[in-house]
Amino acid sequence: MPIVVGDIVEGEIIDFTHEGKGVLKVDNFTIFVNGGIIGDRVKAEIIQIRKSFGIGRLVEIIESSKDRVELKFHIDESRGSIPLIELEYKKQLEWKKKKVKLDLAKIGGISDIDIKDTIGMDYPYRYRNHTQIPIAKENEKIVIGFHEAGSNKIVDMKESILQPEIGNRIIGTIREWMERHHIEAYDKRTGKGILRHIGIRTNKEGQAMVILVTGNRKLPHWKELLDMLRKEDIISIYQNINRSKSSIVYGREYIKLFGEDRLLDYIGDYSFYISPNSFFQVNRSQAKVLYDKAIEYLDLDREDIVYDLYCGIGTMSLYMANLVKKVYGIEIVREAIEDARENAKLNKVENVDFIVGKAEEVFPKMLNKGIKANKLVLDPPRKGCEREVLEAIIELNPERIAYISCNSTTMARDVKYLVENGYKVEEVQPVDMFPHTVHVESIILMTYCGSEEK
Ligand SMILES: C[S@@+](CC[C@H](N)C(=O)[O-])C[C@H]1O[C@@H](n2cnc3c(N)ncnc32)[C@H](O)[C@@H]1O
């Protein structure tokens, strides 16, 4: 009998989806369920049937996974933001390695390769140096927290175990200010209300930059909020205006309300200025692990010329600069390139050029002008590289490539193209940048092995 809506089914969760849902197989039919972890035997009620899968609601965990851990602390943030939290950390790392391996095999057609064990953290909590927390109104109450898995509903939270303590205190103060001054949550359907998100960036020294995301220019009583936040070590407060109806967090316009233009943070021996809209790796200590691995993979020496595609505020470029002759960093966000140039001065680095623009436009143009390099690192956004970038890499023909990615599916697609054009995957290293989430960061070393080995 086929499974229908309303059925209660039983089975074991065998995997996680890319959204962190549990994957259940019942009579060879796939059902996605929120709430369980791999190895749990569960009862689920079918709430939707689609063509090739069903969606279930977890009714009961009949038998706990042997890899389930008992949490030693209270968690009041949405499990949707940390779906793996109850899976033993060692098993999370194993699952992430398996995911990278599977994606490379299934999407990239690359198997029989050396995939190292995922490098984890000694203390996998409070690692996020940038959080973006949605705000809503429910039953006349302000709700501040992350979304429930696969839903628009926000789970109200006092604190997140992913962010440093100062971030949690800032949420508490903003909540108090909203209640005291009747500041409404912004409703993007009606365009009414004020505040839609809180962005909090923190640095290694425990200082914070606060970004108040509003639906329009109105931000009443902001001076009172400034007064209330004075007890914290806050280096700047920005208002960001986001009029969009989409789920994108930040809009284009930033207004500084208080303090410094940028936050100063550190990776290894280097310091970096970060503008409110510039990318900075969310996990500082794991970023160092990743960058050190990139340096090892590229096997840098004084004669090397390196391209750093999608360079952000120049972190990788500057990290490598002292070891090589020249680095070229390319990045689309103008403010990030301005940060990168400032960061070069700050770290007394002179052999790096930062160029603003789309990698798919700027990089081929630079090659046409004869600006060559023998090594290349790239760290594209989740959607991976445009075809023009991959074609230009093949044209440049660097001897070594370090491909860094937070999305193993697009990475596998891009790596496949490079392999089809003469490159070989030497080693893959997953690095756990986002503990307790389903996100996986990895770095791949590729070397050129010539067209005859295609
Ligand atoms: C994953 S981040 C990596 C940043 C940097 N490598 C780091 O480690 O901090 C990806 C960067 O690519 C930039 N970006 C996105 N699309 C781009 C494009 N088409 N061309 C150039 N840069 C782009 C983003 O603004 C972001 O800074």
- pLDDT reading at 367 higher than 60: yes
Q: Kindly report the three-state secondary structure assignment for every residue of the chain.
A: CCCCCCCEEEEEEEEECCCCCEEEEECCEEEEECCCCCCCEEEEEEEEECCCEEEEEEEEEEECCCCECCCCCCCCCCHHHCCCCCECHHHHHHHHHHHHHHHHHHCCCCCCCCECCCECCCCCCCCECEEEEEEEEECCEEEECCECCCCCCECCCCCCCCCCHHHHHHHHHHHHHHHHHCCCECECCCCECCEEEEEEEECCCCCEEEEEEECCCCCCCHHHHHHHHCCCCEEEEEEEECCCCCCCCCCCEEEEEEECCCEEEEECCEEEEECCCCCCCCEHHHHHHHHHHHHHHHCCCCCCEEEEECCCCCHHHHHHHCCCCEEEEEECCHHHHHHHHHHHHHCCCCCEEEEECCHHHHHHHHHHCCCCCCEEEECCCCCCCCHHHHHHHHHHCCCEEEEEECCHHHHHHHHHHHHHCCEEEEEEEEECCCCCCCCCEEEEEEEECCHHHC
Active site residue 406: yes
Which atom of ligand 1 lies closest to the CA of 308?
6
**Global pTM value:** 0.94
- For residue range 387-431, what is the model confidence (pLDDT) as tens digits? 999 999 999 999 999 999 999 999 999 999 999 999 999 999 999
Best residue for ligand 1 mutational test, from 310, 320, 388 (most atoms within 8 Å of Cβ): 310
Name the pLDDT band for 18 (thresholds 50, 70, 90).
Answer: confident
pLDDT, one tens digit per residue, over 240-277 is 999 999 889 999 999 999 999 999 999 999 999 999 99
307 lines ligand 1 (CB under 6 A): no
* Average pLDDT of the segment spanning 30-54: 93
Cβ of residue 443 lying under 6 Å from some atom of ligand 1: no
pLDDT at 451: 62
What spacing in Å lies between the alpha carbon of 136 and ligand 1's midpoint? 30
Cβ–ligand 1 distance for 103 under 6 Å, the answer no
Q: Give the per-residue pLDDT at 454.
A: 39
Whether 9 shows a pLDDT value over 80: the answer reads yes
Mutational pocket test of ligand 1: of 250, 272, 279, the residue with most ligand atoms within 8 Å of the beta carbon: 279
Asked whether residue 362 carries a pLDDT value surpassing 80, the answer given is yes
- pLDDT tens for residues 113-169? 989 999 999 999 999 999 999 999 988 899 999 998 777 889 999 999 999 999 999
Please state the rounded mean pLDDT for residues 180-202.
95
Q: Stretch 211-232: mean pLDDT, rounded?
A: 96
What percent of the chain has a predicted confidence (pLDDT) above 70? 99
